[in-house]
Structure 1
């Protein structure tokens, strides 16, 4: 079981649960403009409590199946969700690998929260999930996210043209990996 972990004086990284739909919807509404350049196009239903409840159901089912681990960055003093960190695409066997994706509330950027949370995600990936490798991708112009990855030992391993449909168009991505066991 993954326990909540302090990330900063007033932030904790914890597992998402079925009761988080309203808080997630509020976080996505608050950050809609902030996240638009970095995420797929979302329909209006995504930003509702019902939309988030449906997404959470899928995320939690994936977690039960061992394919992902959905985490929230929560501000302890307010209980607000101020970020999402997801370990997804977990592959077992000889690969023992997964992807990590994340975002932090626009009002909380610049506080080192993403760097600290990704560090904890790597620890969970290695110590709790037994993974050997974690991959992340960024848009080439997302320098802030690349700094977070580099501060956590990720290495750039490649370039993928037209890799993901972000902000309504197929966009190139830089590929990064962190090896968790020598």
Structure 2
């Protein structure tokens, strides 16, 4: 399982052994994340749901289709967020989608920028991907700022792109190209 270490965070591919921390993270951040994520029913917050979901994430990692990193605080080892590289496509595309979330208590302190830099470094250097794509809702100024800091470039605007919190929301589409892409 890939593990990446930064100054204040450690990224580790989440697995079933992390189920209690994952469940605790989502329960703790339920209201905070609600405006930015799909509607979640009560089952989403259960141990059973997360055992099944983490097994699926392990399978996607084994197949090379995606990697879901848990963002762990370097000193406390607490799960404080996620950095997900999904829909990995090979062939002539060599790209993936990026999704991420951070515990409300750690927002605005640079933890997500550090975690994303580590994860992006991994998919560029180890997986040899050419492009990482990320989208965000126009109202999500924190996401806009973190992506801009990391060098993501706006490539478009998608109307009614994703169903977030029960509503089809517009998104700004961005991408980051691997600077060493000679693959």
Q: TM-score higher than 0.5 here? A: yes
Maintained 8 Å contact 2:7/2:74: no
Q: Which of 149, 152, 170 is matched with 2:150 structurally?
A: 152
In the alignment, the residues of structure 1 paired with residue 21 and residue 139 of structure 2 have an alpha-carbon distance, to the nearest angstrom, of 30
- The number of aligned residues is 180
Whole-angstrom distance in 2 between the partners of 1:77 and 1:26? 18
1:8-27 to 2 correspondence within 5 Å? 8=8, 11-27=9-25
Q: CA deviation at 1:79?
A: 2.8
Identify the residue that residue 86 of structure 2 maps to in structure 1.
88
Residue from 25, 40, 43 that aligns with 1:42: 40
- TM-score normalized by the length of structure 2: 0.94
Secondary structure of the residue that 2:3 maps to in structure 1? coil
In the alignment, is residue 180 of structure 1 matched against residue 178 of structure 2?
A: yes
How many Å apart are 1:7 and its aligned residue? 4.4
**In 1, Cα distance between equivalents of 2:54 and 2:130:** 27
User: How many angstroms apart in 2 are the aligned matches of 1:156 and 1:137?
Assistant: 9
Check the 8 A contact 1:2/1:128 in 2, yes or no: no
Distance 1:51 1:120 in 2: 28
Moved over 3 A (4+): none
Q: C-alpha offsets along residues 2-46 of structure 1, whole Å, 9 cap, x if unaligned?
A: 2231241xx311111220111100000000011000000011111
**Residue pair 1:7, 1:117 contacting (<8 A) in 2 also:** no
Unaligned runs of 5+ in 1: none
Contact 1:21/1:50 (CA < 8 Å) preserved in 2? Answer: no
Residue 3 (structure 1) aligns with? 3
2:52 maps to 1:69: no
What is the alpha-carbon root mean square deviation over aligned residues? 1.2
C-alpha displacement at 1:59, in angstroms? 1.1
| Structure 2: segments with no counterpart, 5+ residues | none
Name 1:143's counterpart in structure 2.
Answer: 141
